[in-house]
Chain A
Amino acid sequence: MAQIRVEALNKSFGTFHAVKSASFTVEDGQFLCLLGPSGCGKTTTLRMIAGLELPTAGTIRLGGEDVTMNRASARDIAFVFQLFALYPHLNVRRNIGFPLKCEGVGAAERERRVEEVARILRISHLLDRSVSGLAGGDRQRVALGRAIVRKPKCFLMDEPLGALDTEMREAMIRELRALHDRLGATTVYVTHDQLEAMAMADMIAVMNNGVVEQVASPRDIYDRPASLFVADFIGSPPMNFLPFRGSLQTGVQAIRLGERDVAIPTAREALAESDLVLGVRPEHVRFSDQGMVRGEVYGAEYLGTTQIVTVKTRYGALKARSAASVSFRTGENVGLDFRPDTLSIFEKESGRAIRTALHEGGAHG
């Protein structure tokens, strides 16, 4: 297993700049998710790490060695494709043994390792079946088997659960994570599904328009988004944004929102007057009669344990997560308060998060 270092990686297809100066490091044994909407460059980044695409600029290091321009076959990595890419003309056993055959592993040794992998993935009973008759989850296990049988330096996975139905996907999320913990394999996992990323990853790299917006632990990504995009992309429903105009001095603990002061985490930088955005997660919105923002209940979405209440305010529709037991009337006038220590402030123009005391709790400042 090995560390993966991606430095200032760029990829252009003609005039389309797919990946813009992406940099991140996956430590040995770490599970990193590349998360982003479709077309954000995450798969291109993964394919460059694999050697299936060559970067326009930048370097890729695998275990310290510069492999930027190496052939895929010379990188000693394993890749799991979204559509499995199981060879239809080979049965399960020969599919899993296929990479070993290339390395010139003898038949007996190959057999032993295929059996071992099949046992780990609990597909021993399928070894002599044809791959075309397998169910989605089993196909995915065979694809994983083909990846782990070779004991490569790292695993790259391109939305491997994207083709599975929801139930199977949840089961496979647990299996994949358990497999990762068992093998301690450095893994880069591409997905557009934040729940998958949150559930599995040690680190998440959020990408948008070819740019890596933030690399951090799932908790930091959620609690301390580095940009408006991350705040908006992560969380369901996403963070509420309240645009306002104002300035900040280092050390201030409140901002002026309309006619009221709103307490915020202590600011750690100064900013001249400009357009700013206050970000607040729905679960940090509280209903209170003295609330600083007033609005009208527009509707409530019942989720079982909680409900999402949409309130129309002068800052737009805000969503609040509230206990399911409280009942709201449509049209009811309510006041809203925010939990001060959890608020984020962004520069509207750049989308960048303003440094506050919020960032001091996390691993990444």
Chain B
Amino acid sequence: MSLANAAHSVVEPSVGTRRFAGSLVVLYAVITMIPLVWIVLTSFKSPDDAISYPPRILFTPSLEGYCNLFTTRSRQTPEFIKTLGPPQGLCDNIARDRNMVIAGPSNYVPRFVNSLIIAFGSTVLAVALGTLSAYGFSRFRVPLKDDLLFFILSTRMMPPIAVAIPIYLMYRTLGLSDTRLGMILLYTSVNVSLAVWLLKGFIDEIPREYEEAAMIDGYTRFQAFVKVVLPQATTGIAATAIFCLIFAWNEYAFAVLLTSGNAQTAPPFIPIIIGEGGQDWPAVAAGTTFFLVPIVVFTVLLRKHLLRGITFGAVRK
């Protein structure tokens, strides 16, 4: 093939173009990473360093933010502190330096657990419902199919917070306010439309012959769906799951409005972590950093699927 060996190809970008494109990507990545880096740095600063102006790039790292995130503390006199035994671990030590003793764990862990349960619960539910209905829309002659699909999508045409008051009243009547179940149902209903539309595209791409072959081989339609369609839709399911999870994980407005003592998630909790004399910025930053971990892990685990998934099935192996 003389074309492939040619020095100058028409389809392949030249080295210069590739370098330019590469540096643009790097530049964009750096810009988007700055706030994240800032948060991570702040989480390791002492409260004084965190609010100093001009901001300090170089500072002595401290775990105070993380200690403050996970504990509540009370101020004591130095005399009282001396009467106590040796400090119990690192955080105790840091607290005593500031004339404090640890009074107990903070609410961060329960809020974090709420976030995990609500986000993953609603994601599983939305993806499961989405997969089933996407399969139905893709394979069966559903009356008013196009109208129904449009109707499903139309639930995303307004900002969800626009329906905050009706939902608030409805939840209060139903006893769903400040419950995990209520939040799971809410996030599921927001995400399910996205899931149906994304997954319908993926399932449309799977040839019907696979199910037909399985059904001729003696399987029922549901068995064929489970054994043949689902394994081939994993890419789409993974991509959809990540999108749903990110929404549910980061959702703030409804969480502020509908949850408080019982089912509160981490997003409304983190910014109101109060230290002595106002906002405890290192603790807020630590809470945010910690909050990023599950979604990063989840995304990295499914990264392969996500990369193939966001091309919306345009590239098939």
Question: Roughly how many angstroms separate A132 CA and B212 CA in the complex, as a whole number?
Answer: 19
Interface residue from B210, B216, B218 paired with A50 (Cβ < 8 Å): B216
Q: A98-B217, A102-B217 are in contact. Are A87 and B210 (CB under 8 A)?
A: yes
Check A85 for interface membership: any CB of B closer than 8 A: yes
Q: Are B215 and A73 in contact (CB under 8 A)?
A: yes
What 5 A-B pairs come out closest when comparing CB atoms? A99-B217, A85-B209, A89-B231, A102-B218, A85-B213
Check B220 for interface membership: any CB of A closer than 8 A: yes
Q: Please, could you name 15 A-B residue pairs with CB atoms under 8 Å apart, sorted by A?
A: A50-B216, A72-B212, A77-B216, A78-B216, A78-B217, A85-B207, A85-B209, A85-B212, A87-B213, A87-B228, A89-B231, A89-B232, A99-B218, A102-B218, A102-B223
- Add 11 more A-B contacts to A73-B219, A77-B216 (CB < 8 A): A50-B212, A73-B215, A73-B216, A78-B216, A81-B213, A83-B209, A87-B210, A87-B214, A89-B232, A102-B218, A132-B317
> From residue B49, how far is it (CB to closest CB) to chain A in Å?
53
Q: Are B231 and A72 in contact (CB under 8 A)?
A: no
Check A189 for interface membership: any CB of B closer than 8 A: no
Least CB separation from A132: chain B residue: B317
Please name all residues of chain A whose beta carbon is closer than 8 Å to the beta carbon of B317 when the two chains form the complex: 88, 132
**Inter-chain contact count A-B, CB under 8 Å?**
57
Question: Roughly how many angstroms separate A89 CA and B206 CA in the complex, as a whole number?
Answer: 13
Check A8 for interface membership: any CB of B closer than 8 A: no
Question: Roughly how many angstroms separate A361 CA and B60 CA in the complex, as a whole number?
Answer: 105
Please name all residues of chain B whose beta carbon is closer than 8 Å to the beta carbon of A83 when the two chains form the complex: 207, 209
Check A79 for interface membership: any CB of B closer than 8 A: yes
> From residue B232, how far is it (CB to closest CB) to chain A in Å?
6
> From residue B214, how far is it (CB to closest CB) to chain A in Å?
7
Interface size class of B (residues with CB under 8 A): 10 to 19
Query: Which of A102, A146, A150 is the most central at the interface, judged by chain B CB atoms within 10 Å of its CB?
Result: A102
Least CB separation from A74: chain B residue: B218
Check A103 for interface membership: any CB of B closer than 8 A: yes
Interface residue from A79, A88, A99 paired with B232 (Cβ < 8 Å): A88
- In chain B, residues 295-317, which have Cβ atoms closer than 8 Å to a Cβ of chain A? 317
Question: Roughly how many angstroms separate A51 CA and B218 CA in the complex, as a whole number?
Answer: 12
Q: Are B212 and A73 in contact (CB under 8 A)?
A: no
Please name all residues of chain A whose beta carbon is closer than 8 Å to the beta carbon of B207 when the two chains form the complex: 83, 85
- Per-residue CB proximity of A71-110 to B under 8 Å, as 1/0? 1110101110101010111000000001100110000000
Please name all residues of chain B whose beta carbon is closer than 8 Å to the beta carbon of A72 when the two chains form the complex: 212, 215-216
> From residue B295, how far is it (CB to closest CB) to chain A in Å?
28
Question: Roughly how many angstroms separate A83 CA and B214 CA in the complex, as a whole number?
Answer: 14
Q: Are B218 and A73 in contact (CB under 8 A)?
A: yes
Please name all residues of chain B whose beta carbon is closer than 8 Å to the beta carbon of A51 when the two chains form the complex: 216
> From residue A43, how far is it (CB to closest CB) to chain B in Å?
12
Question: Roughly how many angstroms separate A132 CA and B209 CA in the complex, as a whole number?
Answer: 16
Please name all residues of chain B whose beta carbon is closer than 8 Å to the beta carbon of A87 when the two chains form the complex: 210, 213-214, 228, 231-232
Check A52 for interface membership: any CB of B closer than 8 A: yes
Question: Roughly how many angstroms separate A234 CA and B215 CA in the complex, as a whole number?
Answer: 35
Least CB separation from B234: chain A residue: A89
Please name all residues of chain B whose beta carbon is closer than 8 Å to the beta carbon of A146 when the two chains form the complex: 213, 217
Q: Are A103 and B218 in contact (CB under 8 A)?
A: yes
Question: Roughly how many angstroms separate A75 CA and B228 CA in the complex, as a whole number?
Answer: 20
Q: Give me the interface of B with A, judged by CB distance under 8 Å.
A: 207, 209-210, 212-220, 223, 228, 231-232, 317
> From residue B304, how far is it (CB to closest CB) to chain A in Å?
15
Q: Are A85 and B210 in contact (CB under 8 A)?
A: yes
Please name all residues of chain A whose beta carbon is closer than 8 Å to the beta carbon of B212 when the two chains form the complex: 50, 52, 72, 79, 81, 85
Please name all residues of chain B whose beta carbon is closer than 8 Å to the beta carbon of A102 when the two chains form the complex: 214, 217-219, 223
Please name all residues of chain B whose beta carbon is closer than 8 Å to the beta carbon of A71 when the two chains form the complex: 215
Question: Roughly how many angstroms separate A50 CA and B209 CA in the complex, as a whole number?
Answer: 13
Least CB separation from A71: chain B residue: B215
Question: Roughly how many angstroms separate A72 CA and B209 CA in the complex, as a whole number?
Answer: 13
Q: A81-B213, A85-B210 are in contact. Are A73 and B220 (CB under 8 A)?
A: yes
> From residue A145, how far is it (CB to closest CB) to chain B in Å?
12
Q: A85-B207, A88-B232, A132-B317 are in contact. Are A79 and B213 (CB under 8 A)?
A: yes
> From residue A265, how far is it (CB to closest CB) to chain B in Å?
46
> From residue B313, how far is it (CB to closest CB) to chain A in Å?
14
> From residue A143, how far is it (CB to closest CB) to chain B in Å?
9
Q: Are B216 and A98 in contact (CB under 8 A)?
A: no
Question: Roughly how many angstroms separate A99 CA and B217 CA in the complex, as a whole number?
Answer: 5
Question: Roughly how many angstroms separate A51 CA and B216 CA in the complex, as a whole number?
Answer: 8
Question: Roughly how many angstroms separate A77 CA and B213 CA in the complex, as a whole number?
Answer: 11
Least CB separation from B214: chain A residue: A98
Question: Roughly how many angstroms separate A98 CA and B317 CA in the complex, as a whole number?
Answer: 22
Q: Are B209 and A81 in contact (CB under 8 A)?
A: yes
- Per-residue CB proximity of A100-141 to B under 8 Å, as 1/0? 001100000000000000000000000000001000000000
> From residue A91, how far is it (CB to closest CB) to chain B in Å?
13
- Per-residue CB proximity of A47-64 to B under 8 Å, as 1/0? 000111000000000000
Please name all residues of chain B whose beta carbon is closer than 8 Å to the beta carbon of A52 when the two chains form the complex: 212, 215-216
Least CB separation from A78: chain B residue: B216
Question: Roughly how many angstroms separate A77 CA and B231 CA in the complex, as a whole number?
Answer: 25
Please name all residues of chain A whose beta carbon is closer than 8 Å to the beta carbon of B210 when the two chains form the complex: 85, 87
Interface residue from B216, B219, B228 paired with A79 (Cβ < 8 Å): B216
Query: Which of B212, B216, B220 is the most central at the interface, judged by chain A CB atoms within 10 Å of its CB?
Result: B216
Query: Which of B214, B217, B219 is the most central at the interface, judged by chain A CB atoms within 10 Å of its CB?
Result: B217
Query: Which of A73, A78, A132 is the most central at the interface, judged by chain B CB atoms within 10 Å of its CB?
Result: A73
Please name all residues of chain B whose beta carbon is closer than 8 Å to the beta carbon of A85 when the two chains form the complex: 207, 209-210, 212-213
> From residue B113, how far is it (CB to closest CB) to chain A in Å?
35
Please name all residues of chain A whose beta carbon is closer than 8 Å to the beta carbon of B223 when the two chains form the complex: 102
> From residue B205, how far is it (CB to closest CB) to chain A in Å?
12
> From residue A270, how far is it (CB to closest CB) to chain B in Å?
50
> From residue B140, how far is it (CB to closest CB) to chain A in Å?
14
Question: Roughly how many angstroms separate A64 CA and B38 CA in the complex, as a whole number?
Answer: 78
Least CB separation from B213: chain A residue: A85
Query: Which of A72, A75, A77 is the most central at the interface, judged by chain B CB atoms within 10 Å of its CB?
Result: A72
Least CB separation from A77: chain B residue: B216
Please name all residues of chain B whose beta carbon is closer than 8 Å to the beta carbon of A50 when the two chains form the complex: 212, 216
Please name all residues of chain A whose beta carbon is closer than 8 Å to the beta carbon of B214 when the two chains form the complex: 87, 98, 102
Question: Roughly how many angstroms separate A89 CA and B207 CA in the complex, as a whole number?
Answer: 14
